[in-house]
Structure 1
């Protein structure tokens, strides 16, 4: 990829992909450290698997939040997964994540494959 080439954008929602919902059984919860950002304000934040951060940042793309969480995504979600996004024009892949399950290995495989094809990797 040339220095002036731009990476594809990955628009990622919070509800469903990062915070699964709607299943009949309980979801696993994750601690993020002694401060556990936002736990009192929104107990659903405990469903965010911090391992999503490294996996998302390893994809050959730039992450952009596409969520109704607005500024709360910066305040409560970003610290849990190390999320930093820069917005610019670029190719797009629309991929639905099953909200009852959240991001799974198969979702990462689809994203990684598409992004690597776009990047010529």
Structure 2
């Protein structure tokens, strides 16, 4: 082995590690992008569904202000529940990904 071949080998290892870190970072970012897209869609669909129900029951809701109040509260509550679910999903996905990365790194050694 010459010094130049050792240097080339070390350079290849460094490039591979940089590439692996890039893909790992991209994987973490894709988790949060997925969560954002899915849960944003769920919030929008929830809001649209309740808007359609509210439109269909418009005359009944006008007679009972208590029902109208609870329609608004349920909309807000479901939006907050979906935000909480998105946060919990994000935490569990990230922890699982970290565990997977640790197990994968142990296997490479």
TM over 0.5: no
Q: Which has the higher contact order (CA 8 A, sep 6+)?
A: 1
* Superposition TM-score, scaled by structure 2 size: 0.28
Q: Which structure has the highest strand share of the two? A: 1
* Superposition TM-score, scaled by structure 1 size: 0.27
Higher Rg of the two aligned structures: 2
